[in-house]
Amino acid sequence: MTRWLLGILLLLLCGSSIAEFRIWEGSNGTVVEAEFISYKGGMVELIRTDGETIKVPASKLCKKDRDFLEMLEPPKLEIKIEEALEKGKSQACVTLGEGRGIGYANPRMMSVACKAIIVKKSLEPRPRKYEAKLLVIGRDMVWDFLKVLDQNTLSIPQLEEGRQTFNLSGKPVDVIEKGFEGRPIRGQKPWTEYYGSLLLVYDAEGRLIATKESKKGVRERVEKEFGSIERNSDLPASLGSINGWAGRMRWGEYRSNKYDGKYGTVADLSEESLMVYSTHGSLWIYTYPKTLDSDFSISCSLEVLAGRMKVGLLPAEKSQSALGIRLDAGERHEIQIVRKGNNILFTLDGEEVRIDVEDDDFDPEGKLVLGFIGSSSVGKLYELEIK
């Protein structure tokens, strides 16, 4: 029994060692089967199958092997973010709370400008392209979602031999000095506070090789709302900046009713549900901030407490067209919306609902947003999930 176990262990060890050998090819066509040891000073150290150790200049290897080296050992980078905060003199008046709990505050406006510094610490050259991105993130104080306030990119054609320093600066953005946690805010502007900055460095294959956040938790929150940043892709300029007609409201934005002087309110955002109210007699549309660019599946529960509401899809660009289901006040309903190609399927409480596209402005295959539309309505949304 002991001999059998030793035999199995020997096979595993041998298999592990052999699996690490690969074929290396020089730029002149010569090949060698060897295991990677190290990469320093532009020289690659390998051990051949016969046990002999050899050193090969990385510049003499084919592109495939140079890419393999890059994946094993990306360049050593020292990166940091500098924040310049300037408080403004002007103040903005906001109204906090509802009913007896109402209050007023005058938070100061401020300007934020961020700068990233990237220092190449490793000495060996890297004749490949790199890209650095500096994201300045804001937080909507009402609905607690993030916005990309500023996004700048630096393209690096290649890394030369020795140390190098690169700078990436963003433009100043205006934000509010501080938020008011747990208290609904009323007003005509979408109040945004500075949440933090994020620096991302990608290699030629779009792999993330270095990252820096201005404070702990920025990356985690960005990935939660925007998706993974491990691969290089363009983030939307702002989760809340969907262009639309005058009646369109951004997720969490307020518009005053110029006819009766009252305000619409968005209140009680939690992990379980969110409640939306509309002003008396005014049409409003809340659009979820994330644009739906390809096939998707949306599921949620909606309970209309007063009035009528319509949940559906709107073009992300300027348009008044909407495709959706109208619900009256009453029971809580389960809703699912699925797009595959140019086919959009609505399901209400497990049953398919046929909705024909009647507006020429509505493109079933175009960029869409999820919208909630109402007038003199109150609704409560649960368990919203978008895949």
pLDDT at residue 276 in the model: 54
For the beta carbon of residue 149, count every other beta carbon within 10 angstroms: 25
pLDDT at residue 122 in the model: 81
pLDDT at residue 318 in the model: 58
Smallest CA-to-CA distance from 196 within 185, 208, 181, 212 is with 212
> Please, are residues 174 and 89 in contact by the beta-carbon 8 Å criterion?
no
Task: Note if the pTM is more than 0.75.
Answer: no
Strand partners, 368: 292, 315
DSSP code per residue over 225-270: HH---SB--PPPS-TT-----TTEEETT---B-TTT--B--EEEE-
Q: How many CA atoms lie within 13 A of 311 on its CB side?
A: 26
Going residue by residue through the chain (387 aa), what tens digit of pLDDT does each one get?
A: 444 444 433 333 333 333 378 899 988 888 889 988 888 778 889 999 898 999 999 888 998 888 787 777 788 899 999 988 887 655 544 444 444 444 445 566 788 899 999 999 888 778 788 999 999 998 766 555 677 888 899 999 988 888 899 999 988 988 876 654 444 444 444 467 889 999 999 988 888 999 999 999 999 988 877 778 888 876 654 433 322 222 333 343 333 333 333 333 333 334 444 555 544 444 566 667 678 888 999 988 888 877 778 888 888 765 556 788 888 888 889 999 999 988 899 999 999 988 877 666 678 888 888 887 776 667 777 777 888
User: Could you give the domains of the chain?
Assistant: 17-72 (2.30.30.700), 77-226 (no CATH), 248-386 (2.60.120.560)
Q: How far is CA 255 from CA 79, 188, 252, 277, in A?
A: 42, 5, 10, 12
pLDDT at residue 285 in the model: 64
pLDDT at residue 253 in the model: 37
Q: Are strands 248-250 and 283-287 parallel, antiparallel or unpaired?
A: parallel
